[in-house]
Every structure is written in structure tokens, then in C-alpha cells.
A and B are shown apart, each in its own frame.
Chain A
């Protein structure tokens, strides 16, 4: 009986842990994680804010660019291209919540890269993008 109780407590503890959101991180920690992911990629270049900016504003495989929803200024409020729903600023300088949750960042990179490029982004592209977003001043 006692043992079952202990097992139950252990199970609850584990379930509780996995249900917690990932620990809050800083955008630079997320950038460092992308750096780590990129390491060893052939032809890898140092992350560049300038490259990130042109990537952000350009159209790729699909009709939408990043700027279609986030506008040309990532420090400004955006608007969903289809539904019109307001999107809070993407640049951490204008919105302190951005890039503090690695799970959320990964989720949106996957979604948005699929919508804009019809594929996942390379670590190089993600690194350039975050370098750009971190360079944008409010």
C-alpha cells in the first residue's frame, strides 16, 4: 500500500515536471543554442543581421514573406495577413517575451518557415534571423 502511494507520488512529480513550460531563457541563450545546432554545417558563416534582414523582407517559395504579417519593422505591431488578427512585435527590444521560451521559438520557426519557404529553415537562416531581430532597436 505504502509502495503504491510512493509510486503515485513519483508519477505525479514526473507528470508535473513535464507539464511545466520550459524554463525561461534569454534570446542570447536561444541564439547560442542555434549556434550549437549549426556547428559543423558545411559552408557555415557567422550569423549576420544584414542577411537576416533581407531574408525577413524577401518572398521565398510562397506568397507570404515574414514581413507580410510582421510588417517591414519587427519592432512594430503586425497583423495576420489572412485573418487580420493583431500580432505583437517580434523584436525582443519591443517585446520582452519574445525568444524566452525555446519550445515556443522552435514551434513558430517550424510553422512560419513552412508557410514562407515550404520547408524548415536551416540553422544558418534561423541564426541570421535572430541576429537581425536582436539588432532591431525600438
Chain B
């Protein structure tokens, strides 16, 4: 009986070890990990969290065409609905440039952005710059990205997602695909 118990506990230990080793691999998507355990540490990113998915299954041709003339078409899920409303209401001076649209184009694109905005944003804030959101800053702080990276002319600006995220245009920011230029 005693022998049997010892054997059982040995098997149990091995099994538990195996589970703890395989767990991190199963959580390659850290979003899922955060969703599961995030609650324990209070509200994620102070409520300034990007949506999931970042890009809806169906995109919008007008959005794709108009919003990618001067920069990549940033996925709607990167900001909350209120940010997009403000952004689209101020295109006459869009970060210093005139990006105005016809009323009809503006309406169609605003609807698309608002309908697909971040579904995990609970804060009352509505920043215009994606790089000013708490999740962005946390993911790109000096522990994650060395300050030298931002100075690289190939990166140039935090607005240049595609410098390190090759599939940013498609709303894919998977950590495994990150290529930081040297």
C-alpha cells in the first residue's frame, strides 16, 4: 500500500511537471494568456486595450484605398470607436496634413471604422495616435524595444508598423513574425 502510494505520487509529480512545461507553449498567443489571467491584476492596460481581432474578416474597399495612400491602412481594432469618430471629423488637418474626403467617402469609412473598433477598450479616453495608447506603450517600452531601434532610419517613426511587423497592413502583428531591422 505504501509502495503503491509512492509510485502514484511519483507519477503525479512527473505528470504535473509535464503540464507545467507544456503550458507556456500552449499559450503562444499571449493575448489568450492575458485574457485568462489578466483579471487577477486589475484591468488590462488601464482599459486602453486594442481589439480582437484587429482586422475584421471583411474589409472595406474605400477604407483600404483611401487610408493607405500616405501610410498603411491601420486596422480599425487598434483604437476605440470614439477615436475614429474624432479622427474622421478632423481630416482637414490630419496630423498636419490635409487628408479630406468627400462627405460620402467619409461617412462610409467612418461607419466601417466605428463598427470594427476595439472591442476591449473600456477607458473613457479616445487618443488619436495609436502610439499613445497604454497597450502600445507597454508593448514597445524600453524593456521590449531598445531606444536605438526607433532611431534607425529604416524604422523612422512608431507610425511605421511595417518596419518590424511585415504583415501589419493585413492587421497581423504576430510576435513570431517580428523582424527588427539592423
**Which residues of A are in contact with B by a Cβ distance under 8 Å?**
80, 82-85, 103, 107, 110-112, 114-115
Contact = CB atoms under 8 A, between A and B. Distances in A.
B97 A115 contact: yes
B70 interface: yes
B71 to A, nearest CB: 4
Contact of B71 (A85, A103, A110, A115): A85
Interface of A is mostly: helix
B156 A84 contact: yes
Interface of B: 68-72, 92, 95-102, 156-157, 159-160
Contacts of A110: 98, 100
Contacts of B69: 85
A115 B68 CA distance: 18
B98 A114 contact: yes
A111 B71 contact: no
A131 to B, nearest CB: 24
A111 B100 contact: yes
B117 to A, nearest CB: 22
A83 B99 contact: no
Contacts of B157: 82-84
Contacts of A84: 156-157, 160
A46 B172 CA distance: 52
Contacts of A111: 97-100
Nearest to B101: A107
A115 B98 contact: yes
Given A85-B68, A111-B97, A112-B98, 4 more contacts: A84-B156, A85-B72, A103-B102, A114-B98
